Chain A
Amino acid sequence: MGNEGIGARVLRKEDKRFITGKGRYTDDITERGITHGVFVRSPHAHARITSIDTAKAASMPGVIGIVGGQELIDGGVGNLICGWMIHGKDGSPMKMAAYPAMDPAVVRHVGQPVVLVVAETKAQATDAAGEIEIVYEELPSITQLSKVLEPGAVEVHPETAPGNLICDWQLGDEAATEAAFASAAHVVELELEQNRLVPNAIEPRAAVASYDTGEDHYTLNTTSQNPHVARLVLSAFYNIAPEHKLRVIAPDVGGGFGSKIYIYPEEIVCLFASKKLGVPIKWVAERTESFMSDAHGRDHISKARLALDSDLKFTGLKVDTIANLGAYMSLFSSCVPTYLYATLLSGQYALPNIYANVKLVYSHTVPVDAYRGAGRPEAAFLIERIVEVAARKLGVSPVELRKKNYVRDFPYQTPVLMNYDPSDFITLMDKALAHIDIDGYAARKADSERRGKLRGIGYSSYIEACGIAPSQAVGSLGAGVGLWESAEVRVNPVGTIEVLTGSHSHGQSHETTFAQVVAQRFGLPIENVNIIHGDTDKVQFGMGTYGSRSGPVGLSAISKALDKVEAKAKKLAGHLMEADEKDIVIENGELKVAGTDKKIAWHEMTLGAYTAHNMPEGVEPGLVEKAFFDPINFSFPAGTFICELEVDPGTGVTEIVNFVAVDDFGTIINPMVVEGQVHGGIAQGIGQALLEGCYYDENGQLVTASFMDYCVPRADDLPSFAVDHIEVPTPNNPLGMKGCGEAGAIGAPAAVINALTDALGTEDISMPATPEKVWRAIQATRPAMAAE
């Protein structure tokens, strides 16, 4: 088969369609009689809807119908749900306010959908949308996180969540942590902001919804990372149709980064309207709509304190965080700043006492949910910033301080629930130091100084949790679903193989990497293996792709199904060759009797399974196996990133000159694909650190609602990256995979900001550290020079 198995740098099977323009994304799908939907959205952050006049719009050319929120209520459409129940430190459940797909009475963020207009063409729908008259009574709003909890602040949901507080949550032992501070030799404090980000997959969200009156059956093509989860909630909670009357297809999807996990109002409304109006409806978001309606990410403010003993060992960490969830609680919003954040605050360190308090709050902003990393970037940034600051304050090398405190014995139980996989943090750091050429740094810095530039170097040793997650464990923490994955392996009579998986690829390369695992098992070429995903009519069930779970969980399910196929194949081959099945080995596409020259080709065995002329006693014909894999733990990728950058003090422009990432992802199936994931993640992390920020003005207007105002990284904002890895497999899944999709975005921001603050000689800079902020920080540290 050549080298196409696990560990091989195989070129992608899916590429051909994408490079020739034959990809099939949701907007590329059409149907006979397709119509087009356009949403009218709230221009206000907070307002009461006094009246909606659709008469003029309804009579415009091409208009088929107009659907508002009251019709959804009358039609029995359920409110959107948050799928993870958390409890506050007093034991009370989170205070979740009603989240209707389109509220007919009140709007609570700019961009909230109010009315859907459906017309024969998109232009006609857009024209008609412009003629709908909605009278709003504007109400005061609150969007600034720092003000949300102030006494007397405007309330988003006064009846359900007084004072805007959804949940006052805690994790860890407060008394023990306080005691660690009381006896500490050193205490370091830091205030941090996690800037609000917009995921911005380049394919905007879209939906094509249709209803078949003859079959009483809906079909939804949509930009989803998890079509089965979409179908489940559309059925069980939004009352669109029972699952067997609803097919959800996620065709080619142009990036997700978390934002396409959720089932948004638009999909629900389009499905509802397709039946009500009797036409198939396509809706495709404009980019501005994406900015105003895709779930945002991050948005925390935190205070952190780190206690150290006289030997500079960490003894305690105390964290107070306020997390903005926006105007409504999105699907996984409650677990992101709690169980996916505070549980990772131990970082790579043996840190015996940790206490975190997180206040989850409402504001008049777009709902916030998981975005690449989801809670772990916030945790990694906090711990890696305060460790770097501690090293500077205490006059020790940040590398040595880290090494002194790294966990060295595994598995390691943290005080915040997690039990870490084995890894080798020292080697990760040492490899990263070698790649950056640490010995040459002093000379490079001197050279920068000669050129009038400020050079800095910064470190980030992140750890994160992937492969979400053991169903029983997450159930006990409040998850409304199990987080296993399923797989079906169908071996055809001619010996080719179809694998049906509940994971979904929207850039992750499953069609190649999953095929590599199958090919390796039987010694077949990868072109004989086809990976099928993203269609609820084809794949029985699956939980989808997020939290870097496709490898650790999805491939584990496939692996288990392959075990069953292998066992049956050996039984059949043993029978056909009159040998003991225990003596059969499978390699290079053949089944051999060990120690003899007896063998049959793979396709002879598979054909035998289907002709069924000569089956072993009691064995059913065919060769198809299914498996469910429920993880026994999270997996824990870890790594060290080093960023070296140069600042122009005259302009405040930061240029990243070297960026090194050394990761431990456990077993790697395809290094080319993994490196690509790391590059993309780092780019988003650098974006968070230097470029990206979402801002609301004092009237609650979103002022960063386009690519002109919100800076996603362009090619010339970034360097090339030096990426390397070690492989310490996790013992907790069959292939030893830890997951790699989010690491870059998790580790990069702290590395960049640590380097920048090193260059500037001040800790006082917030993300995104734009040239203006950097320039101002330089002026602030040089009062004497500014005065001259």
Chain B
Amino acid sequence: MGKRTMAVLAGLAMGPALLMGHAGAVWAEYPPEGDFVRGARLWAENCGRCHNIRDPRELRDDQWITTVYHMRVRGGLTGQDVRDIYTFLKQSN
């Protein structure tokens, strides 16, 4: 791979990261509010695929954030799935 190609690829990879950096600077709430009803359904469908389903009351809101992002990576969930599931969990604990 030529140095130019590498630079272009690096630029393409960094572009979205820089844009995201800007969005982050606004300090919007995260994760953005999702859909409670869809979240409840997705929780029931997905959170028992690998292990016993965990009770929403087991963890605090902030602990659920890291957990659902961890599970997003494990279970191939989409960003929207995770936002909806988190909305369900934080309102059910």
Pair from one complex? no
